Amino acid sequence: MTDATSEPGSGASDDATAVADAITEPAPAESAAPEPEPSGPSPLGDVAAELFARLEEELGDAILARAENHGTLIVRVRPDVWSDVARVSRTRLECDYLSFVSGIDWLPAPKEGGDDDGDTSSPAQPSEQTVGVTGGETRFQVFAHVQSTRRHWGVTFKADVSDAAPEVGSWTSVYPGADWHERECWEMYGINFDGHPAMRKLYLPHEFEGNPLRKDFPLLARVLKPWPGLVDVEPMPGEGDDEAAPTPDGGDS
Amino acid sequence: MNLLAVHVPWGLALGIKTLIVLIVVPTGALLLGYVFLLKMMSHMQSRLGPMEAGPHGSLQLVADGLKFLQKEDVILAEADRPVFKLAPAVVVLSTFLIFVVIPVGPGPGGVVSNLDVGVFYALAVSSLSVIGVLMAGWASANKFALLGALRAAAQLIAYELPLLLAVVGVVLQAGTMNLQGIVAAQQDGSIFGWGFIGNPFIFTQFIGFVLFMVAAQAELTQTPFDMPVAESELVAGYMVEYTGFRFLFFFIGEFGTATAFAALAATLFLGGYALPWFHGTAATVLGPFVLIAKMMLVAFFIFWVRFTYPRLREDQLQSLAWKVLIPLALFNIVLTGTLKVLV
Amino acid sequence: MSTTNPPEETMPDIEIDPRDLRHLADAQMNVELDTGDMILNLGPQHPATHGTLRVVVRLDGERVISADPVIGYMHRGYEKLTEFRTYPQITTLINRIDWLSSFANEVPFIDGAEKLMGVTAPPRAQYIRTMLTELSRIATFVLFLGEMSLQVGGITPAFFGFRDREHILNLIESATGGRFHPNFNRIGGIKDDLPWGWLSETRSAMQMVLNSCDDFEDLVAGNEIFQARTRSIGIIPGELGATYGVSGSNLRASGVDWDLRRDGAPYLVYPELDFKVWTHPDGDSYARYMVRLQETRESARMVVQMLDQIPEGPVMAKVPRIIKVPEGEVWVETENPLGQMGYYIVSKGGTGPFRVKIRSASFSNVSILPWLLRGVYVPDVITILASLYFILGDIDR
């Protein structure tokens, strides 16, 4: 397990901590709490170190945080350099292959009916807001994964997106394949990609309203019919503590 | 007219002949459809579907026919109704017209109409079907159908030429355009003086035969030349909007034309109804069966190719016609003419 | 911001062909005023689109001026649905992403959950998983080998494809109980061990697959008309294909030697197997056919290798009864039959994931269509669609 909690990158420590103070308090505290506080950024593997060195050379203090997570380097950058990231990753990192561009909404899943009613809308989820291994300051993030077909490495990039005007730069001029990914992210999260040539709905009908993958967009089927998942957990056969209680059917299997 | 030495009055003869043609076309179409489409194709493709109805699937065609008759006759609101309804009839009509000149026995009684320009007539009326196809494609008010119809028109026009030129060699060698005359020329002829089995023109006109079969495959819009109906591209081309009985008409037209072309090829290149040593009454009685046997042989090749090959692209089809088939056909004519003069 | 601009000398040239971007500008569907062209809707109900892909093509005669794929007719919102389900339930959903090789879809997801939990499946389970993944690959590819011929017009090989797929499906069914949707993976292993006689039956089935690959090579790939229809049609340059995210056999057919089974993070038992990654320099439809043909053979050989090597032992590791995945996030990717399949799983420590980003192969493979289809003829549209080999469930998710 190479899972490591991130700290702001060394080049950007002042900037990042300054902003980190402004965000809601649980996020950094939660993510840092379970592990002993590392003195600096966690050590990277050889490949990740090489990648990060190249990135740092190009992006400098625009890198806010980094982590090596299950063998993948995750780098969080300032949103204003998002489109530069594409260019840098294609040139300096030799990542010619675009895997995906997508978004994430860190808002805790709303509970229908409150906590004391038990789970009604979804499987048990902690209700605090966390922001993943590289931290974050906003509710929305965009993240993307690029890979190199020659060097066989890959990087995941993340960037915060402001709640008020969710917008980052488009990657389509560097990775033409980002076209559909960004359209999907736009319709699902309402995150706009500045510079995208034809932003229109991809999956959804043109008249669809709302952004379905946002956490506050309810899954209608779950609202109408409560989630039965945890209610009817039956005992495994042969488990001693449950055998004393006979089932109503009287089955003695 | 004398039919097996019995005199038949003119009116009755006409009636009988009309009836025969009316019966031959659907019967031939169903025969080919059953033997090749249902049986041969299924065996080639390890398919068990057409084995269910009747013993060894022998009633499958009846089941299919009944199914077509039950289907609703859908005519689109946008369709050009009179043209839409007329188109299948035009296609089938051209098939009927070909059979008029194909001889099934010796003498004027063996053929419905013993035209002196029989070959010319047969090839001319066979291309009438393109009018029906164009009508169907236009009247369907469907883009796929229109594309299919335009492809069919371009293709049939392009392949009419090699088809005709391929037959020119036969006509040169037989010295007549009368199909009875061509059959007689094959029965009585000789291959460079060796006349043991007569001269089926497939031997002396082999280039012509291959050209004829390739061009006929295109005329029939069978794979590898089935772009007008290409089911994976144009869904079913000009037939896409037709249902039920009207679709059945196209089906009969397709297989009826295949029967007609197979019979024509058998007549032109395989000696027709004639067998080398049979003359007179024996030839009259055996004639139809011999023709059917030869026709089935030719049809077997047509369908074998159909089930084996993928389809060409439209431009490849055109370049094949104009760059390969037509020069080859012209060469064949020159060769035939030269040998005819020299030998 | 000045620091973000790279120094001039460290910046290699990005060669972006203007053609890469041109389609983006004219990607508009409403072109009613262009009277010279014809708009043809290929799909959503069209036999060549394997389902409900719709391609709006503007035609000049039969030549495509522009093509715009319209997707979403089968969008089931799996990324949303996964947020409302527990981990064991999700395998049922993701079985339906690429429904031709359902088992292969489960593998990366379970792999990701296991990574987060720190659980490792026992070796025998890993072997069985790998075998079933490769069988799924064969089942997908033999169908392609026949289907491709069908789209080019030859109907007979398509039935051979279905016949061979049937052998593989029987194997998958006898091992897992499900023909199309096995749902056989569990976090920590697999549900059951293999049935008696499965190994020997698989061995003979693999011989059958190898034989029918020879048939396909003769009957389809060796056919002159097939070659005339597919050679130098739909060429994807390797570099461009990568930037579009085209992956798997489609990318390898463009000469990019990249296979996640060999080059990615090690998963399943691929590091223990000896196999060759096939590439083709041409990048056209024929190259894609040949690469898949060779990969089918390679997969059959891999299965035979695994049959020889499979160890004895348990098939399930010790896992808690109620699966709770610790907080964290993980990116897992596998080489699925259609290309790179990846899941970005974000867990908050609950019984279900917080967010699952599903990266499916066909989505990116098809996104290159507007570029690829420009200027080709309508019949080539069909061959190109067939040679890219997408599954609608894999596009729409």
Contacts of A133 in chain C (CB under 8 A): 328-329
Predicted confidence (pLDDT) at residue B323 exceeds the cutoff of 80: yes
Q: Would you state the pLDDT for residue C32?
A: 43
Query: Helix, strand or coil for residue B115?
Result: coil
In the complex, which subunits touch A with 3 or more CB pairs below 8 angstroms?
A: C
Q: Do chains B and A touch (3 or more CB pairs under 8 A)?
A: no
Name C332's bridge partners: C343
Rounded to a whole number of angstroms, the distance from the CA of C190 to the nearest CA of chain A is: 17
The complex's ipTM works out to 0.81
Q: Please state whether beta strands B6-7 and B2-3 pair in parallel, antiparallel, or not at all (unpaired).
A: antiparallel
Rounded to a whole number of angstroms, the distance from the CA of A123 to the nearest CA of chain C is: 6
Please list the alpha-helical segments (H only) found in A62-126.
82-91
Q: Confirm or reject contact between C232 and chain B (CB < 8 A).
A: no
Query: Residue B323: CA atoms inside 13 Å, Cβ hemisphere, count?
Result: 6
Which range, A235-249, C19-33, C37-51, C357-371, is most confident?
C357-371
Q: By C-alpha distance, which of B106, B108, B101, B100 is closest to B8?
A: B108
| Residue A27 within any structural domain of the chain | no
Judge: B230–C153 Cβ closer than 8 Å, yes or no. Answer: yes
In the complex, which subunits touch C with 3 or more CB pairs below 8 angstroms?
A: A, B
Distance CA C117, CA C113 (A): 6
| Residue A34 within any structural domain of the chain | no
Numbered residues of chain B with Cβ closer than 8 Å to any chain C Cβ? 41, 44-47, 143-144, 147, 223-224, 226-227, 230-235, 307-316
Provide, rounded to the nearest whole percent, the portion of chain C with pLDDT above 70: 90
Residue A194, phi then psi, degrees to nearest 5: -70, 125
Give me C231's structure tokens.
């050679």
Provide, rounded to the nearest whole percent, the portion of chain A with pLDDT above 90: 0
Which whole number is the average pLDDT over B135-157? 84
Contacts of B48 in chain C (CB under 8 A): none
Higher pLDDT, B5 or B220: B220
Q: Confirm or reject contact between C81 and chain A (CB < 8 A).
A: yes
Distance CA C165, CA C100 (A): 10
Contacts of A233 in chain C (CB under 8 A): 322
Distance CA A116, CA A119 (A): 8
Q: Would you state the pLDDT for residue A58?
A: 79
**Count of beta carbons in the 10 Å neighbourhood of residue C195:** 12
CB C304 within 8 A of CB C206: yes
Query: Residue C200: CA atoms inside 13 Å, Cβ hemisphere, count?
Result: 2
Higher pLDDT, C365 or C28: C365
Which whole number is the average pLDDT over C263-279? 86
Q: Would you state the pLDDT for residue C303?
A: 92
- Give the chain A residue whose CA is nearest to the CA of C53: A203
Predicted confidence (pLDDT) at residue B333 exceeds the cutoff of 70: yes
Q: Would you state the pLDDT for residue C17?
A: 55
Per-residue confidence band for C82, with pLDDT thresholds at 50, 70 and 90: confident
pTM of the model: 0.80
Q: Confirm or reject contact between A170 and chain C (CB < 8 A).
A: no
Predicted confidence (pLDDT) at residue A225 exceeds the cutoff of 80: no
- Give the chain C residue whose CA is nearest to the CA of A91: C12
DSSP 3-state percent helix, strand, coil across chain C (nearest 5) = 50, 15, 35
Predicted confidence (pLDDT) at residue B285 exceeds the cutoff of 80: no
Q: Which helix (H) or strand (E) holds C115?
A: helix C102-117
Judge: C3–A61 Cβ closer than 8 Å, yes or no. Answer: yes
Predicted confidence (pLDDT) at residue C8 exceeds the cutoff of 50: no
Query: Helix, strand or coil for residue A97?
Result: strand
Residue B273, phi then psi, degrees to nearest 5: -70, -10
Contacts of C396 in chain A (CB under 8 A): 203
Handedness of CA C205, C206, C207, C212 (dihedral sign): positive
Determine the angle formed by the axes of helices C156-176 and C123-152, rounding to 10 degrees.
160
Contacts of B223 in chain C (CB under 8 A): 153-155
Higher pLDDT, B106 or C218: C218
Distance CA B212, CA B165 (A): 9
Judge: B314–C379 Cβ closer than 8 Å, yes or no. Answer: yes
Higher pLDDT, B98 or B285: B98
Q: By C-alpha distance, which of A132, A148, A165, A149 is closest to A64?
A: A132
Residue A110, CA distances (Å) to A126, A131, A232 in order: 10, 16, 22
Predicted confidence (pLDDT) at residue C27 exceeds the cutoff of 80: no
Rounded to a whole number of angstroms, the distance from the CA of B153 to the nearest CA of chain C is: 14
Q: Which helix (H) or strand (E) holds C162?
A: helix C156-176
Per-residue confidence band for C1, with pLDDT thresholds at 50, 70 and 90: very low
Q: Would you state the pLDDT for residue B74?
A: 80
Judge: C6–A92 Cβ closer than 8 Å, yes or no. Answer: yes
Distance CA C255, CA C262 (A): 16
- DSSP string computed for B255-282: HHHHHHHHHHHHHHHS-TT--TT--HHH
Weakest mean pLDDT among B195-204, B212-221, B290-299, C111-120: B195-204
- Which of C29, C252, C259, C367 is the mutation pick for testing A, counting most A CBs within 10 A? C367
Residue C84, phi then psi, degrees to nearest 5: -115, 20
Please list the alpha-helical segments (H only) found in C277-351.
285-309
- DSSP string computed for C59-109: EETTEEEEEEEE--TT---HHHHHTTS-HHHHHHHHTTTSTTSHHHHHHHH
Q: What is the pLDDT of residues A189-207, one digit of tens each?
A: 888 888 888 888 888 888 8
Distance CA C328, CA C43 (A): 42
Rg (CA), chain A: 22
What average pLDDT does the structure give for chain C?
83
User: Which CATH number covers residue A114?
Assistant: 3.30.460.80
Distance CA B143, CA B141 (A): 7
CB B180 within 8 A of CB B114: yes
Predicted confidence (pLDDT) at residue B189 exceeds the cutoff of 50: yes
Weakest mean pLDDT among A126-130, B182-186, C201-205: A126-130
Predicted confidence (pLDDT) at residue C23 exceeds the cutoff of 70: no
Please list the alpha-helical segments (H only) found in chain B.
10-32, 41-44, 60-70, 81-99, 118-126, 129-139, 143-174, 179-188, 201-204, 206-219, 244-269, 280-308, 314-319, 326-342
Q: Confirm or reject contact between C227 and chain A (CB < 8 A).
A: no
Which range, A79-83, A126-130, B197-201, is most confident?
A79-83
Contacts with C339 (C-beta within 8 Å, 6 or more apart), sequence order? C246, C247, C248, C249, C250, C251, C361, C362, C364, C365
| Residue A198 within any structural domain of the chain | yes
| Residue A251 within any structural domain of the chain | no
Distance CA A123, CA A4 (A): 26
Distance CA C248, CA C258 (A): 8
Name C357's bridge partners: C344
Task: Tell the CATH superfamily of the C67-396 domain.
Answer: Cytochrome-c3 Hydrogenase, chain B (1.10.645.10)
Q: Would you state the pLDDT for residue A12?
A: 39
Report the number of distinct structural domains present in chain A. Answer: 1
Predicted confidence (pLDDT) at residue A223 exceeds the cutoff of 50: yes
Q: Would you state the pLDDT for residue A43?
A: 65
Domain residue spans in chain C? Answer: 67-396
Which whole number is the average pLDDT over B190-209? 76
Cβ–Cβ pairs < 8 A, chains A and C: 190
- DSSP string computed for C199-239: HHHHHHHHHHHHHHHHHHIIIIIT-HHHHHHHTTSS---HH
Per-residue confidence band for B80, with pLDDT thresholds at 50, 70 and 90: confident
CB A170 within 8 A of CB A192: no
In the complex, which subunits touch B with 3 or more CB pairs below 8 angstroms?
A: C
Contacts of A99 in chain C (CB under 8 A): 245, 333, 340, 342, 359
Q: By C-alpha distance, which of A128, A78, A91 is closest to A108?
A: A128
Tokens 């792999």 -> residue = C111
Range of the domain at A200: 46-118+139-224
What average pLDDT does the structure give for chain B?
81
Q: Confirm or reject contact between A105 and chain C (CB < 8 A).
A: yes
Question: Residue A126: which of C21, C321, C350 has the nearest Cβ?
Answer: C350
Judge: C342–A104 Cβ closer than 8 Å, yes or no. Answer: no
> How open is the CA angle B151-B153-B158, to the nearest 5 degrees?
95
How many helices (H) does chain C have, and how many strands (E)?
16, 8
Distance CA B279, CA B273 (A): 11
Predicted confidence (pLDDT) at residue A124 exceeds the cutoff of 60: no
Q: Please state whether beta strands A167-169 and A192-194 pair in parallel, antiparallel, or not at all (unpaired).
A: parallel
Residues in A 114-133 with any Cβ partner in C closer than 8 A: 121-126, 130, 132-133
| Residue A240 within any structural domain of the chain | no
Instruction: Provide the b/e sequence for A228-253 (b: ≥16 CB within 10 Å).
Output: ebeeeeeeeeeeeeeeeeeeeeeeee
| Residue A5 within any structural domain of the chain | no
Q: Confirm or reject contact between C265 and chain A (CB < 8 A).
A: yes
Query: Residue C263: CA atoms inside 13 Å, Cβ hemisphere, count?
Result: 19
Predicted confidence (pLDDT) at residue A9 exceeds the cutoff of 50: no
Q: Please state whether beta strands A140-147 and C189-190 pair in parallel, antiparallel, or not at all (unpaired).
A: unpaired
Tokens 């340059």 -> residue = C237
> How open is the CA angle A78-A82-A85, to the nearest 5 degrees?
105
Q: Would you state the pLDDT for residue A226?
A: 64
Weakest mean pLDDT among A88-102, B127-141, B193-207, C263-277: B193-207
Predicted confidence (pLDDT) at residue C149 exceeds the cutoff of 80: yes
Predicted confidence (pLDDT) at residue C11 exceeds the cutoff of 50: no
Judge: A173–C251 Cβ closer than 8 Å, yes or no. Answer: no
Provide, rounded to the nearest whole percent, the portion of chain B with pLDDT above 70: 94
C72: left (phi over 0), alpha (psi -120 to 50) or beta: left
Question: Residue A60: which of C3, C85, C346 has the nearest Cβ?
Answer: C3
Judge: C379–B46 Cβ closer than 8 Å, yes or no. Answer: no
Contacts of C242 in chain A (CB under 8 A): 96-98, 149
Predicted confidence (pLDDT) at residue A251 exceeds the cutoff of 60: no
Q: What is the pLDDT of residues C286-331, one digit of tens each?
A: 999 999 999 999 999 999 999 988 888 888 888 877 777 888 888 9
CB A23 within 8 A of CB A8: no
Higher pLDDT, C38 or C67: C67
Q: What is the pLDDT of residues C206-230, one digit of tens each?
A: 998 999 899 888 888 888 888 888 8
Q: What is the pLDDT of residues B20-75, one digit of tens each?
A: 777 777 777 777 777 777 788 888 888 877 777 777 777 888 888 888 888 888 88
Residues in C 313-352 with any Cβ partner in A closer than 8 A: 321-322, 324, 327-331, 333, 340, 342, 344, 346, 348-352
Distance CA C255, CA C283 (A): 7
